[in-house]
Each structure stands twice: as C-alpha cells, then as structure tokens.
Chain A
Amino acid sequence: MILAVAEALGGGAIRATRALGKMGVFLGVSFARAATPPYRAGNIVKQVHFIGVKSVLVIVLTAAFTGMVLALQGYNTLRRFGAEGVLGSVIALSLIRELGPVLSALMVTGRAGSALTAEIGIMRIGEQIDSLETMGIDPIRYLVAPRLLGLLLSVPLLTAIFDVVGIFGGYLVGVKLLGVNAGLFFGQMEANVELVDVTNGIWKSLAFALLIGWVCTFKGYFTGRGAEGVSQATTSAVVVSSVLVLVCDYFLTSVLL
C-alpha cells in the first residue's frame, strides 16, 4: 500500500518534471527563434493586429467599467474617512499597479490566447505543422515566434489603453456623477502616481504577455488528438494562463513593491 502510494507520487513527480522541462525547452527555442533573423515582420504585424488591435474594444469596455466601479466603491469607502479628495489617486494607482496589467492580461487570454491555441492546435491535427516541416520551414519560427512577439508588443500597449480608459471611467463617475472636485481628482493623481508605478505596471504586463504566449502556444503545439484534443488544449490554455497570471502577479508585486 505504502509502496503503491510512493510509486504513484514518484510517477507524478517525474511526469510533472518532464512536462515542465518540455515547456522550458519550448520557451527557450521559441525565444531563440524570435531573437534571431529572419524576423518575419509581416507575420509579427499580423499578430499585433490580431492580438492588439482586435482586442481594443474589449479592453476599452472592461477598463471603462472597472474604472467606474472603482470610483463608486472608492468614493463610498473614502467618504467614511472624509478622504474623497484622494479618489483620483486611488483609482489611478489601483489601475496602473494592479488592475490594468492583470485584467488586460486576462482579457487577452480569453480573446486572443484561446484563439492562438485553437489555431495552432487545428494546424497540428490537420498535419499543417508537419507540412511546414516537410517544406524545410521551422514551425516554431514561423508560427510561435511571431505570436510571442505579437503578445510582447501588444499587451503592454493594451495595458496602457486600459489604464487611461479606466481613469477616464473613474473620472466620469467620481467627478461628473458623484461631484468630486476635478482639480482635486487630477491633482491628487499627479501628486501620488510616480514613474515607478507606471514602469512596474509595464514590467508586469510584459511578464504576463510572456506567460500567455508560452502557455497558449505550447498547448496548441502539443495538442491532443482530434477536435476533442484541441478543445481540451484550448480550455487548459485559458485556465492555466489565467491562474499563472494571478500567481505571477502576487510574486511580482511582492518583489516590485
């Protein structure tokens, strides 16, 4: 009995180590391909369009309502302490440090990450990746590297858009609806938000972009058999990416604070 449990645990540990090693090698190779020429600028632009431009609407909507909710909640909480004046800085800091990078990453995972996994997975089961190989074209260079670079370029920009739109949403509710003084709203924001807050947000968004790209392309590239395999890979990619974004956020915050 004890032997069987030990064997099961050991087997699980070996499998997990193997899977992590495979993922690590995949990331290393993908980075190497992304960093060395030829760069396939056309493919990268296409990915920035797909991941970035096509995500703008969902980012704007999410950001606007997040900023508005922050304003509502923040105002009601701060009013208890007579501190409504700092509403602007509370909204801006929450968005720039935390919510902007995290929610942008989660939105990109749901909208673009899942699509990346499904697209690569369908190419795998349809032998299109094998077909690339037979033509002497490296599929990691052709498929994975541009998507990784597309994410690394798009996610920080989407995060910046999220921050700006979120602050604007907070301004609409805080200033126009709840009557906080506009000068106070922006004055406090200017006084309390520092450059390091913005750069930390950018670092986070870059880390999240890397995580999303890594997990989603890996899951698609090594998808299971048939439509069911692609469906499982897509679900798994979204779940794993989202959880990893949140876990990574905690550790990054603890390091960057």
Chain B
Amino acid sequence: MTGGPPGRNVICEPCALDPYTGGDQEPILRLIGVEKTLDGQKVLDGVSLEIPRSRITAIIGLSGAGKSLILKHMIGLMKPDRGQVLVGGVDINRLSRRELDGVRNRFGMLFQTGALFDSMNVFENVAFPLREKTALTEAEVRDKVRGILEKVGLEAAEEKFPDELSGGMVRRAALARAVVMDPEIILFDEPTTGLDPIIRNSILNLICRTYHEHHFTMVMISHDLPDIFHWCHHVVVVHDGKVVEVGAPGEIQNSVNPFVRQLVEGDIAGPVQLM
C-alpha cells in the first residue's frame, strides 16, 4: 500500500498508514527462534519475525519454504520444537487448552482451500462461529451473517453448499467466516492461489476493503509477486525454513540479497537452481 507507484493491478487506494519500522510500534505477534523438524527434516530453522499491529504483512518465498508452517505456528496449530510464539506478549505454547482457545478468539484464518464445512451451506458456515462462540440470538446472527454475505457478494448464494460454489466464491465465503467474529488478526494462507486474474483481483480487493474498514492485523502468504508489494506494509521473505529478509515493500524490491532478487524478479538463473 505504500511501495511503488500503483500499476493497473493495484486494487485499492493507498493506505494512509506509514510502513512498519519497528521501534516504538509494539508488534502484536512475534516468533522467536522457532525450530521445527518433521519426518527428520528441519522445516523451520530459527525463525524470528515480528507482525506489526494493524498492518498487512506479506510472507513470501518459494513453495515448500515453510511459509504455511509459520502461519500454523502463529495460531498454535503446530507447536515448535524450540522457540517461542508470542501473541500480545504471551507465549501461546505455554497456555492450557482453554487459554489457547481464548487467544484463538482473537484470530480469523482463511485457508488455502477455504476449509468450509462441507456439511453446511454458506449461511451456516458463516454463522457457525457466532452460534458456537457468542450468545447472539438467532435473529442477530441472521442479520450479521446476511450483512457480511452482502459485503462479499454472496447474498444470493447463502443456501448453497461448498461443492456448489466456484473457487472464488469459496474464498469469499471463507473470508466472510474469517471476519465474522471481528478478529484482531487475520491469517491468509495463499488466498488467491489457483484463481483466474479477475477473481484473484476481486478477492484482493475484498481483503483490501476489509482492511480499510476494520484495520485488522493481516498476515498473508502470497505468491502474487510483484503485485503484493503495492498493497502490503511489511514483507517477510522466507527460504529453506529461515527468514532471509524483512522490510518495507520498497526495501525488499531493492534488496541486494541474491535470493530475494531472484524471487522478486522471477529469474531462472540465480542461487536457486530448480532444473
């Protein structure tokens, strides 16, 4: 939202917030020296990063670099072998199940597949967290869900089941479910992967509008390079389970790190040789 001139793929108005520079801006989420080994392979190797409050942070890197694992650690779906995950200064891996559920109430998460409950229709999916976690009356739930479905353009599809929806509609429904509880932090695991450019932009537009309305803290794994630099405040580059660079979009775009340069420019030649 602050990096570079808007191109034709820029999908929302530039944000008035300054880029995150650390200092006195207390991060809402922090990973410190997180290590994880799966099937004998070290998949996260001392990951340390900060997620600034009320900003959009993009996590970029090659497929298999460990981005989704970082997201899963942030919300406690995975426990690190070593290191800490601090949400608002609290190490979530030291919490009891009940306390962890309390922390998770501050999160919304949009999975790559949408992860909608396939036995429920769109309305029931979006209403689910409200019915389970709040004391709202059914009329209040209905009003809130219909309001959100209208915002994501799914008011006509509320009776449809996930298998009747297109990829874009699934992501929009999942976004509606992720924001329905007004979370402080929303995690997006590749929200636009596999979508055609128009639907991809409509999803990004929706995410951007949601951000402008609520100023949630957003963390997004994305392969949408270089577009991502136009609408995030903070970028984390991950490679081989390590954080290799952190900074404002402009800094990442002008990085001298050979891997980051190769990633940003999409070069075949460079430190990463796939063929």
> Chain A interface (Cβ within 8 Å of chain B)?
122-123, 126-128, 130-131, 133-138
Is B102 in contact with A136, judged by CB distance below 8 angstroms? yes
Question: Would you call A130 and B115 a contact (CB within 8 A)?
Answer: yes
A136–B101 CB distance below 8 A = yes
State whether A134 touches B77 (Cβ < 8 A): yes
Asked if A131 and B101 sit within 8 Å, CB to CB, the answer is: no
Instruction: Judge whether B133 is part of the interface by a CB distance below 8 angstroms.
Output: yes
**A131–B133 touching, CB < 8 Å:** no
Q: How far is the CA of A157 from the CA of B102 in the complex (A)?
A: 39
Q: In the complex, how many angstroms separate the beta carbon of A242 from the nearest chain B beta carbon?
A: 27
Question: Which B residues touch A123, using CB under 8 A?
Answer: 117
Whether B132 lies near A137 (C-beta < 8 A) is: yes
Q: SS class of chain B's interface: helix, strand, loop or mixed?
A: mixed
Q: Are A133 and B117 interface neighbours, CB within 8 A?
A: no
Tell me how far the C-beta of A147 lies from the nearest C-beta in chain B, rounded to whole angstroms.
Answer: 14
B1 CB contacts on chain A under 8 angstroms? none
Q: Tell yes or no: B118 within 8 A of A by CB.
A: yes
- In the complex, which residues of chain B have a beta carbon less than 8 angstroms from the beta carbon of A130? 72, 77, 111, 115
A134 lies within 8 A of B107 (CB)? yes
Within the complex, what minimum Cβ distance (angstroms) separates A123 from chain B?
8
Q: Is the CB of B118 within 8 A of A126?
A: yes
| Docked CA distance A123–B116 (Å) | 9
Q: A133 vs B115: C-alpha distance in the bound complex, in angstroms?
A: 12
Taken together as a complex, chains A and B put the C-alpha atoms of A133 and B107 apart, in Å, by 11
Residues B68-109 near A (CB distance < 8 A): 72, 75-77, 97, 100-105, 107-109
- Cross-interface CB contact of B104 among A126, A127, A128, A133, cutoff 8 Å: A133
Q: For B105, list chain A residues within 8 Å (CB).
A: 136
Given contacts A133-B77, A135-B104, contact A127 B111 (CB under 8 A): yes
Question: 7 other contacts beyond A123-B117, A126-B115, A136-B101, with CB at 8 A cut-off?
Answer: A126-B118, A131-B109, A136-B100, A136-B102, A136-B103, A138-B97, A138-B101
How close is B87's CB to chain A, nearest CB, in angstroms? 13
Which 6 residue pairs spanning A and B have beta carbons closest together?
A: A136-B101, A136-B104, A127-B115, A131-B115, A134-B109, A127-B111
What's the least CB distance linking A6 to chain B, in Å?
22
The residues of B that contact A133 with a CB separation of less than 8 Å are 75-77, 104
B14 interface residue, CB < 8 Å from A? no
Chain A residues, CB < 8 A from B111 = 127, 130-131
Q: Which residues of B contact A (CB under 8 A)?
A: 72, 75-77, 97, 100-105, 107-109, 111-113, 115-118, 128-129, 132-133, 181, 187
* Chain B residue contacts of A137, Cβ below 8 A: 101, 129, 132-133
Q: CA A137 – CA B134 in complex, angstroms?
A: 12
Of chain A, the residue at the smallest CB distance from B174 is: A131
Bound-state CA distance A115–B21 (Å) is 52
Min CB distance A118 to B, Å, is: 12
Chain A residue nearest to B101 (CB atoms) is A136
Distance (Å) between the CB of B47 and the closest chain A CB? 20
Chain A residues with CB below 8 A from B118, complex form: 122, 126, 128
Q: Are A135 and B115 in contact (CB under 8 A)?
A: no
Chain B's nearest CB lies how many Å from the CB of A139? Answer: 11
29 CB-based A-B contacts, threshold 8 Å = A122-B118, A123-B117, A126-B113, A126-B115, A127-B111, A127-B113, A128-B118, A130-B77, A130-B115, A131-B109, A131-B111, A131-B115, A133-B76, A133-B77, A133-B104, A134-B75, A135-B104, A135-B129, A135-B181, A136-B101, A136-B102, A136-B103, A136-B104, A136-B105, A136-B133, A137-B101, A137-B129, A137-B133, A138-B97
* Whole-angstrom CA separation of A137 from B102 in the bound complex: 10
Query: What is the minimal beta-carbon distance from B51 to any residue of chain A, in angstroms?
Result: 16
> In the complex, A137→B100 CA distance in Å?
10
* A126, A130, A131, A133 — most chain B CB neighbours (10 Å): A131
Q: A126-B118, A130-B77 are in contact. Are A135 and B133 (CB under 8 A)?
A: yes
Instruction: Name the B residues within 8 Å of A131 (CB-CB).
Output: 109, 111, 115, 117
Q: Which residues of A contact B77 (CB under 8 A)?
A: 130, 133-134
Q: How far is the CA of A134 from the CA of B189 in the complex (A)?
A: 13
Complex: A123 Cα to B119 Cα, angstroms: 10
Q: Which residues of the partner chain A approach B109 to less than 8 Å between Cβ atoms?
A: 131, 134
B132 to nearest A CB, angstroms?
A: 6
What separation, in Å, do the CA atoms of A138 and B101 have in the docked complex?
A: 8
CA distance A150 to B33 in the complex (A): 44
Q: Which B residues are in CB contact (< 8 Å) with A122? A: 118
In the complex, which residue of chain B has the Cβ closest to the Cβ of A125?
B113
Q: Which residue of A lies closest to B178 (CB)?
A: A134
- What residues of B have a CB within 8 angstroms of the CB of A126 in the complex? 113, 115, 118
CB neighbours (8 Å) of B133 from chain A are: 135-137
